Amino acid sequence: MTNHHDFEPISAEDIIAHARSTEPSAMTSPGSPDNREPDGWMEAAFATLPASEMFDPAVLAAVELLMNDCESVTVKARQRLVEGADRGVRWRHRLDNHLGNLLRKHRCARQLAPSDIAARIGTTAPLIAEIETGAKPVQSLTPEQVAAWIRHVSLEPTVALAALRGTHPSDNASASDARPSNEGFTCDVAVALGWSFGRH
Amino acid sequence: MDEDLIKAAKAGNERAGAFMISLYGPKLLGYCRTIAPDLGDVDRELICEQAVETACRKIDDYDPGKSRLHAWLRGFVRNGVRAWRRGPASQVSPLLVDPGAGSLPPITKTGPVQSDLRVGQLAAAVRALPPHHQLLIALRFTEDLPTYEIASRLGISDAAVRQRLSRLIRQLRTQVEGQGDLGVA
């Protein structure tokens, strides 16, 4: 196998120069609209791989130098794009106190993978990821599993219960008042966490 | 500049969206036109609109240590185009398509059980290529550029790009097959 270190470049510009130098410049033509060599497996495989895991940083820098596409944006198109971005920003902001998001932040802070959580509480990693992003409700798990998850990532029960209830702890007078008003699932999680209607 | 934009988006700043589009709107639309010249303006705008919305939702996932923000944003546009090409029946929400997390549908053509192993082997084989060959692979398979676009940007002929890519693909296939005898299609 050829080792790229034999060809170690100095910079992104060197890589581009090397790619260009192997053949004299020639006229190019668009050709047929679909002139790519079809290779389903390889395309799908590349789609699953983050670029940072495959390419030298200098290669990625060279790609950035070559990816200089730009076009003028109409007022209407710009407005549309801004609206899309605004929706995303607002959505994420609302997510700040969402239980799945809090669990995700605490998991990441502890450098745990979704599979670690899944193994711990007896479920699957994809379900963990879906609950974290809000694609699936936390009620997809049992109250005991949710409680185990909360404990495993060391999320403060007061904060977790408030998020589950859809409110923020600061809305309450004190932590002891953060009893689950949402009878049912929240209450069951509180019990599984060792809370008994306000008594820790 | 990117850092300010990310801070603004994370803080829920009401101007973050406009800020992002000022910086990247023309580039994302231009990129979308490059990889999807067959789509109409309205469709491309829709893809880019969904791409920036998804990117803003997932801004916490962005890792500046792994890629430039522009490259990360292009990934959402690319996934939008791929979803579009798969057709209405498979146009999943862009929220479920994360370019950095490998969340595209799993490779099933030759067996999902073996796919992780083969994909890892492919990554290793690409990493072992000389950088100027990696560049071709990145432009073709990661950025989804047609060969004539690669040729144009490098100032070489389309035929040369096709020939080199063909050789590289054959080499990568041989290496992946050779390591695992997995019958890559």
Q: Which CATH architecture has domain B112-180?
A: Orthogonal Bundle (1.10)
H or E segment to which residue B125 belongs: helix B112-127
**pLDDT at residue A171 is higher than 60:** no
Q: Measuring CA to CA, how many Å separate A111 from each of A38, A150, B97? A: 39, 15, 23
For A100, the token pair is: 């799945």
Nearest to A87 among B31, B53, B162 (CB): B53
CB of B49 closer than 8 Å to CB of A84: yes
**A53 belongs to a structural domain:** no
Within-domain flag for A142: yes
Q: Which residue do the tokens 């090397």 mark?
A: A18
Instruction: Measure in Å the smallest separation between the Cα of A30 and chain B Cα atoms.
Output: 5
- By residue range, what is the domain housing residue A135? 96-192
Q: Mutation test of the interface with chain B: which of A7, A46, A104, choosing the one with the most B Cβ atoms within 10 A?
A: A46
Please report the pLDDT score of residue B179 as a whole number: 63
pLDDT of A28 over the 70 cut:
no
Could you tell me if residue A121 is inside a domain? yes
Say if A128 falls within a structural domain.
yes
> What is the predicted pLDDT for the residue at A91?
84
Domain ranges within chain B, ordered by starting residue: 2-96, 112-180
Q: Between A44 and B134, where is the model more confident?
A: B134
Q: Is the predicted pLDDT of residue A174 greater than 60, yes or no? A: no
Is residue A114 within 8 Å of residue A132, measured between CB atoms?
yes
Of A90, A97, A133, which Cα lies nearest the Cα of B12? A90
**Cβ atoms within 10 Å, residue B90:** 11
Could you tell me if B42 lies within 8 Å of chain A, comparing CB atoms? no
Residue B102 contacts A, CB cutoff 8 Å? yes
Of the candidates A50, A55, A84, the beta carbon closest to that of B102 is on A50
pLDDT-derived band at A119 (thresholds 50, 70, 90) equals very high
Calculate how close chain A gets to B51, using CA atoms only, in Å: 8
Name the average pLDDT for chain A: 79
Q: Which residue of A has its CA nearest to B82?
A: A47
The continuous run of DSSP H or E covering B48 comes out as helix B41-57
Alpha-carbon distance of A178 to A180, in angstroms, equals: 6
Dihedral (CA of A18, A23, A27, A29) sign: negative
| CATH for the B2-96 domain, from 1.10.3470, 1.10.1740, 1.10.8, 1.10.10 | 1.10.1740
Question: Using CB atoms and an 8 Å cut-off, which of residues 140-199 of chain A contact chain B?
Answer: none
Least confident of A95-99, A153-157, B63-67, B95-99: B95-99
pLDDT at position A164 over 70: yes
Yes or no, beta carbons of A19 and B125 under 8 Å apart: no
The beta-carbon neighbor of A56 closest among B29, B123, B131 is: B131
In a domain, A112, yes or no: yes
Does any CB of chain A come closer than 8 Å to the CB of residue B152?
Answer: yes
CA distance A183 to A165: 9
The enclosing domain of A177 has a CATH number of 1.10.260
Residue A36: which pLDDT band, with cuts at 50, 70 and 90? very low
Q: Residues with Cβ < 8 Å from B148, sequence gap 6 or more?
A: A28, A29, A30, A31, A35, B158, B161
Q: Is the pLDDT of residue A8 over 90?
A: no
* Domain-located, residue A114: yes
Nearest CA to B75 out of B31, B38, B106, B108 is that of B31
* Residue A189 pLDDT: 92
B4 Cβ neighbours under 8 A, 6+ residues apart = B19
Task: State whether A41 and B29 contact (CB < 8 Å).
Answer: no
Closest-CA residue of A relative to B174 is A1
Determine, for residues A73 and B25 on separate chains, whether the beta-carbon distance falls below 8 Å. yes
- Contact between chains at B109 and A44 (C-beta distance less than 8 A): yes
Higher-pLDDT residue of A178 and B155 is B155
Nearest-Cα distance to chain B for A116, in Å, is 17
Is A23 part of a structural domain of the chain? no
pLDDT profile of chain B (185 residues), mean per 10: 88 87 94 94 94 91 89 94 77 43 36 61 92 94 93 93 92 79 41
| A78 within a domain of the structure (yes/no) | no
Contact B129 A63 (CB under 8 A): no
Task: Please tell me the distance from the alpha carbon of residue B122 to that of residue A147, in angstroms, as a whole number.
Answer: 40
pLDDT higher than threshold 80 for residue A177: no
Domain count, chain A: 1
Is B56's CB within 8 Å of A92's CB? yes
